[in-house]
Amino acid sequence: MADPGLFTPASVTWQLHGDPMMWVAGVRALYLQALHPRAVRGVMQNSDFRRDAWGRLMRTAHFVGTTTYGTTEAAERAGARVRKIHSMLTVTDPDTGERYGVDEPELLRWVHCAEIDSYLHVLRRSGVPLTDAQADRYIAEQRVGARLVGLDPETVPAGRAELAAYFEAVRPRLAAGPEARAVDDFLLRPPTHPLLVPARELLWRRVALLAYAALPPYAHELYGRPAPAPATVTRRLRTTGALLRRIPARLRWQLPPQHILRAMARLGPHARPAPEKLGP
């Protein structure tokens, strides 16, 4: 019998992670993650973010795709690789000289929660029909992902109420410091070949602005840049989601590394992800 992986086609995660609005959600997560000074400092000091942000996004997408749709062995191997890399990286606080590891549970938990909140928020707000009970199931399922990056699953929110309480507790520690400003500036104007600048302004900037607009109000306050009215943001998210979902799924899934198509080949056509397949 073929291995369905860590989540399986019966999970909410399996049905949601194939949605094209995950890309907008991923950029929102970057904006949100950058507001934790200790966490974003780890990114800026240990990666070539400014010159390889697209590569970072693709590596994150590959990790999410592997852990969602890959075999159990592939998912566990991906998690082990991430944990090994994190265990070797340290960060220096420029103000105090303190050195700390990027694998501190507090930092890993923030990155995890910012991602899960962004995926869930953008997909639901853009039109994916998800009940509150299904949203709670999704957050609980993501404790598996938390374990893979080195967190104790019991220390990670398991539902909407716990996730909201977590963000309320962590808010006093958030700030838009120099590193967050650098992330904001990069996401709005990523370096590109001069001939591609028009495309950047036409396509990428719209994605970045939409992702920023979808942040919670306190994030807009910290960044100091206003966002459109919530009703306007919701309308734009729904319009963008409707347009992207009109692209045939099999065409979208042809893009490398084809996690979903490989999962369907392994398990059969019934494994095709679709939010409407979710049970109550």
Collect the ranges in the chain with pLDDT lower than 70: 48-55, 191-202, 279-280
Q: Given this model, what pLDDT does residue 53 score?
A: 63
pLDDT given at position 198: 63
Q: How far apart are CA 220 and CA 228, in angstroms?
A: 10
What's the pLDDT score for residue 197?
56
Q: State the pLDDT at residue 50.
A: 63
Mapped onto helix, strand or coil, the DSSP state of residue 216 is coil
Distance CA 198, CA 12 (A): 38
Cα radius of gyration (the chain):
18
73's enclosing H/E stretch is helix 72-87
Quote the CA–CA distance of 199 and 73 in Å, as a whole number.
39
In angstroms, the CA 165 to CA 168 distance is 5
- What is residue 51's predicted lDDT score, i.e. its pLDDT? 64
Please, is 179 exposed, middle or buried when counting C-beta atoms within 10 Å of its C-beta (0-12, 13-18, 19+)? buried
Residues 103, 170 contacting (CB under 8 angstroms): no
Cβ neighbourhood burial of 66 (10 Å; 0-12, 13-18, 19+): buried
Task: Tell me the percentage of the chain whose pLDDT exceeds 90.
Answer: 75
pLDDT of residue 81: 96
Structure tokens at 80: 């082990």
Looking at residue 58, what is its pLDDT?
78
DSSP single-letter state for residue 35: T
The pLDDT value given to residue 47: 75
| pLDDT at residue number 46 | 84
